[in-house]
């Protein structure tokens, strides 16, 4: 069984630190929402992550499916 609530808790703990946020937290929350099947919520998180990171977080093999989903959601 996947533990999405636990994943969200860890993301929150990691990014509650006082530092510059460049979209990583939103990217992780978007990934969790996507994997849970909460696609509307995932789209919202991915939009924030894309804006904050200027798309940088969507580069790379691990984020390819999320990037494709995000682009499709813009149509």
Domain that holds residue 8: 4-73
pLDDT given at position 14: 67
4-47 per-position pLDDT tens digit: 788 777 767 666 665 567 898 899 999 999 999 999 999 999 99
Closest CA to 28 of 3, 52, 40, 46: 46
Number of structural domains (the chain) is 1
pLDDT given at position 15: 63
pLDDT given at position 49: 95
For residue 62, pLDDT over 60 is answered with yes
Q: How far apart are CA 19 and CA 50, in angstroms?
A: 19
């Amino acid at each position: 069984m996947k533990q999405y609530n636990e994943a969200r808790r860890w993301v929150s703990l990691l990014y509650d630190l006082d530092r510059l946020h460049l979209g990583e937290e939103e990217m992780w929350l978007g990934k969790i929402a996507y994997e849970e099947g909460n696609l509307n919520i995932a789209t919202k998180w991915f939009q924030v992550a894309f804006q904050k990171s200027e798309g940088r977080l969507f580069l790379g093999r691990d984020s390819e499916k999320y990037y494709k989903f995000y682009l499709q959601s813009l149509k």
